[in-house]
Amino acid sequence: MLCLENLLPKIFSGLSQTTRAYLALGFGLLSLGFSAIFVRGANAPGTITAFYRMAIGSLVMVIPFANQFRNDASIRPARHSIWLAILGGVFFGSDLVLWTSGIVMSGATIPTLMANIAPLWVGLGAFLFFRERQGVRFWMGLLVAIIGAAIILGQDFSKASNIGMGSLLGLGSGVFYGAYYLTTQRARTGMRTLSYFWISTASSMILLLFVNLILERTLTGYDSLTYTMFLGIGLLVQVGGWLAINYAQGFLPASIISSTLLGQPVLTAVIAWPLFGENLNAWQIFGGAAVITGVYLVHRSRSNGRRVSASADTKKNYGN
């Protein structure tokens, strides 16, 4: 079975498990940083690029997905977990519709930054639906990030309505990604990573296919550069990037993973500047810094809350 747990030890046999995990995390961050670049570089609507991303991911991983049940039939997920995975794929596909459309309208940098506000929506969703208590740091982070987002939106709408709308679509995509994350938390308690990955990816692909058909967008007839972008986002981002991050999650603390991935919009901005001439003014940089700071505070508050909860559960089950 295609699995980074098997491949990485062979490729980096002289390195420790922790070092391999950090390398995988770095590769995952680099891959995600290029995801908006592939969308921006393709001469195609954003929803078309998103469709190919999920279609290639589904195709590449279908054999490993099927083989895992041949080796162990007992790991077949329950029906409710499958439905949750499908729902997660619908949320992720909806996120891609808005995010990729925003990139086409206003560039790679700002929609990617706005989409990375997703942890705020995750925290709010956990508070509203799962009654998860949030500390003062969470609400401070939420306020700081919203102020930063408001500054960016104000700047972009002052430039042109289509640029501002692209940024707003990026912000909206974060809401769907937050819903995807919350659904994933529930679904992953009853199924393995590879099963969830493939089912959610396939359902995203089907949703994106219908969206493109409704919008009457053609799936073929693009130039060779655009097909290269499709392959890049499918293989490098959807397969390589996410599998690398999933591998790193098995060996590194969640606080390190989440904090490191905050670098995605920064990396995207660094790459987009020389390639597409996406320069940010002082207010956009200030707003972006506020957004990243706010999201970091939210991450830290939720990580601390989970550690406290885990500690309380340990005392409850194993304490005197």
Kindly indicate the confidence band of residue 187, based on its pLDDT and cuts at 50, 70 and 90.
confident
Which pLDDT score is estimated for 164?
A: 85
How high is the pLDDT of residue 301?
77
Q: In this predicted structure, which of 31-35, 47-51, 157-161 has the lowest mean pLDDT?
A: 157-161
Q: What percent of the chain has pLDDT over 90?
A: 40
Q: Is the pLDDT confidence value at 113 over 60? A: yes
Q: Show the tokens assigned to 141.
A: 């982070």
Determine which of 18-22, 35-39, 73-77, 243-247 has the lowest per-residue pLDDT on average. 73-77
The reported pLDDT for the residue numbered 129 is 77
Mean pLDDT of 86-109: 95
**What share of the chain has pLDDT > 70, as a percent?**
88
Q: Coil, helix or strand for 62?
A: helix
Q: Which residue has the tokens 């690029």?
A: 49
What size, in residues, is the chain?
A: 320
The mean per-residue pLDDT over the stretch 58-74 comes to 82
**Range 260-265 contact pairs with CB under 8 angstroms and sequence separation of 24 or more:** 260/25, 260/29, 261/28, 261/29, 261/32, 262/116, 262/292, 262/295, 262/296, 262/299, 263/29, 263/33, 264/29, 264/32, 264/33, 264/112, 264/116, 265/109, 265/112, 265/113, 265/116, 265/292
Domain boundaries along the sequence of the chain: 4-315
Lowest mean pLDDT among 59-63, 117-121, 179-183: 117-121
| Chain centre to alpha carbon of residue 296 | 16
Quick one: pLDDT at residue 312? 33
> How does pLDDT run across 286-311, given as a tens digit for each residue?
988 998 898 888 877 766 655 444 33
- At 21-34, the pLDDT tens digits run 888 889 999 999 99
Query: Does residue 316 carry a pLDDT above 50?
Result: no
Mean per-residue pLDDT, 204-209: 98
* pLDDT band of 48, cuts 50, 70, 90: very high
* pLDDT for residue 303: 63
Q: What is the pLDDT of residue 300?
A: 77
Mean pLDDT, range 273-298, rounded to an integer: 88
Confidence bin at 63 (pLDDT 50/70/90): confident
Whether the model clears a pTM of 0.95, i.e. scores above it, the answer is no
